[in-house]
Amino acid sequence: MGQYRQPIISTCHFVSYQVEILDWKTKKQLCFLDKVEPNATIREIRLMFHKLYPRWYPARQSIKLDPKGKSLRDEEILQHLPVGTTATLYFKDLGPQIGWTTVFLIEYTGPLFIYFLFYFRMPFVYGLDERFTSSPHPVVNLACICHSFHYIKRLIETVFVHRFSHGTMPLRNIVKNCLYYWGFAAWLAYYINHPLYTPPSYGKKQINSAVIMFLLCEAGNFSIHVALSDLRRNGSKIRKIPYPTKNPFTWLFFFVSCPNYTYEVGTWISFTIMTQCVPVGLFTLLCFIQMTIWAKDKHCTYLREFKDYPSLRMPIIPFLL
C-alpha cells in the first residue's frame, strides 16, 4: 500500500519494512507496524509495541524470530535479521519485572536481619526460660560477625561493584529466591545461636583456622567480582574472557571459569568448620550443587563463544569439576 509513496524520513533509498508481531503461542496478530526504518533496533520496536499495549513495558517483552527460539537483544537491527521486508516477530509476555539490583538487595537484607533475630535471642525464638541460662560462647559472636560481614559485603558489591547485563528479572523469581535465602538463614541461625549450642570440638585451633580461611575466601570472591566488573569499565554489556590480573587472588582464573563461585563455596566451608553445625554443612552442599550447575553452564557458554578459550580451565574446581 504505502510502497509507492515517498518514504518520509528515510535518509537513504531503502524501502521501509513492515513488521507484524504475533503472539508466540496462539499466533494471533497483536500488531502490524507499517513503514519501519530498516535500521530500527529491537529496542525501538519494543517501544512501538509498548505504545499499543501500555501494560507490556519493554522489559516485560520477549521478542523472538522463532516462537520457540531465543529472545532478540535490544541492540539487534531489523535489516540485519534474517527476514524479508515483511518481518514476522513473536511476542512472549515475561510477566511483571523487577530490577536486578532491587532483587539482590531484598534477597540479601533478609538473611542479615533474620540472623539478628536469633543472635539476640528474641523471646519468641527459644522461649524465655532458656534465654537466661547461658551466655553465648565466643564463637557464636564471631559467627554472627562473619555472617553479617558476608551479607553486607554482598550488598555493597551489588550496589557498587557488579555491572549486570540484565536490567530486570521476572517478579515471581524473587519469591522463590527469598524463600531459599531467608528460610536457610533462619534455619542456620536457629542452631548456631541456640542456648544449647556446643562449641567446636578442636576449640581455638579449629575456630582460628576457619576464620583465616573465611577471610581469604571473602577477599578472593571480592577480587574476582572487581575483575569481572573491570571487564565492563567501558559500559558495554557483553561478556569477555576474564583473565588473571596482578592481584594474586584472581590467579584462580588460570584454572577455573568461575573462581567467584569457588571462593564462595570456600567461605561456606569455612563457616561450617567454624560453627561445626550440620545444617550449615547442608546449606553449603546445596550452594555447591547450585553453583556447580551455573558454573558448568557458564563454562559451556565461554567454550561456545570463544574459540581461543584457555583449555586448562574447569568450571568450578581446578582440574576436577
Partner 1 sequence: MAASGSGGSRADNGYGSQQPRRRKGPGALATAYLVIYNVVMTAGWLVIAVGLVRAYLAKGSYHSLYYSIEKPLKFFQTGALLEILHCAFGIVPSSVVLTAFQVMSRVFLTWAVTHSVKEVQTEDSVLLFVVAWTITEIIRYSFYTFSLLNHLPYLIKWARYTLFIVLYPMGVSGELLTIYAALPFVRQSGLYSISLPNKYNFSFDYYTFLILVMISYIPIFPQLYFHMLHQRRKVLSHTEEHKKSE
Ligand X SMILES: NC(=O)c1ccc[n+]([C@@H]2O[C@H](COP(=O)([O-])OP(=O)(O)OC[C@H]3O[C@@H](n4cnc5c(N)ncnc54)[C@H](OP(=O)(O)O)[C@@H]3O)[C@@H](O)[C@H]2O)c1
What are the respective helix, strand and coil percentages of the chain, to the nearest 5? 55, 10, 35
Report DSSP state, residue 56: S
Contact with partner 1 (CB under 8 A) among 18, 260, 276, 284: 276
19 makes contact with partner 1 (CB under 8 A) = no
Least distance in Å: CB of 190 to partner 1? 9
279 makes contact with partner 1 (CB under 8 A) = yes
| CA distances in angstroms from 312 to 237, 288, 292, listed in the order given | 26, 21, 17
Range in contact with partner 1 (rule: CB under 8 A) among 52-60, 71-79, 237-245, 270-278: 270-278
When CB distances are held under 5 to 8 angstroms depending on the partner's kind, the choice from ligand X, partner 1, none that residue 35 binds is none
- Grid coordinates standing for 24? 508466540
Report DSSP state, residue 32: E
- Grid coordinates standing for 126? 527459644
Asked whether the beta carbons of 40 and 78 are under 8 A apart, the reply is yes
CB atoms within 10 A of CB 69: 10
Tell me the DSSP string of 238-255: --------SSGGGGGGGT
Helices and strands (DSSP H and E) totals, the chain? 9, 6
When CB distances are held under 5 to 8 angstroms depending on the partner's kind, the choice from ligand X, partner 1, none that residue 192 binds is partner 1
Least distance in Å: CB of 150 to partner 1? 19
When CB distances are held under 5 to 8 angstroms depending on the partner's kind, the choice from ligand X, partner 1, none that residue 172 binds is none
Asked whether the beta carbons of 17 and 79 are under 8 A apart, the reply is yes
Range in contact with partner 1 (rule: CB under 8 A) among 210-218, 226-234, 276-284, 300-308: 276-284
Cα–Cα distance for residue pair 244/95, rounded to 1 Å: 39
Least distance in Å: CB of 225 to ligand X? 6
Which of 8/196 has CB closer to partner 1? 196
Which of 262/275 has CB closer to partner 1? 275
Contact with partner 1 (CB under 8 A) among 40, 275, 283, 295: 275
Q: Residue 267 half-sphere exposure, CB side, CA atoms within 13 Å?
A: 23
Which of 191/251 has CB closer to partner 1? 191
182 makes contact with partner 1 (CB under 8 A) = no
278 makes contact with partner 1 (CB under 8 A) = yes
When CB distances are held under 5 to 8 angstroms depending on the partner's kind, the choice from ligand X, partner 1, none that residue 73 binds is none
Contact with partner 1 (CB under 8 A) among 192, 211, 228, 273: 192
Least distance in Å: CB of 132 to ligand X? 34
149 makes contact with partner 1 (CB under 8 A) = no
The torsion angles phi and psi of 34, rounded to 5 degrees, stand at -90, 150
Helix (H) or strand (E) holding 93: strand 86-93
Report DSSP state, residue 315: S
Which of 61/276 has CB closer to partner 1? 276
Which of 71/88 has CB closer to ligand X? 71
Q: Which of residues 197-216 bind partner 1 (CB under 8 A)?
A: 197-198, 201
Who contacts 58 (Cβ-Cβ below 8 Å, separation ≥6)?
43, 46, 47, 50
Q: Which residue ranges make up the site for ligand X (CB under 6 A)?
A: 162-166, 221, 228, 231-232, 239-240, 242, 258, 260-261, 264, 287, 290-291, 294
139 makes contact with partner 1 (CB under 8 A) = no
CA torsion sign for 156, 157, 161, 164 is negative
Q: Which residues bind partner 1 (CB under 8 A)?
A: 191-192, 194, 196-198, 201, 275-279
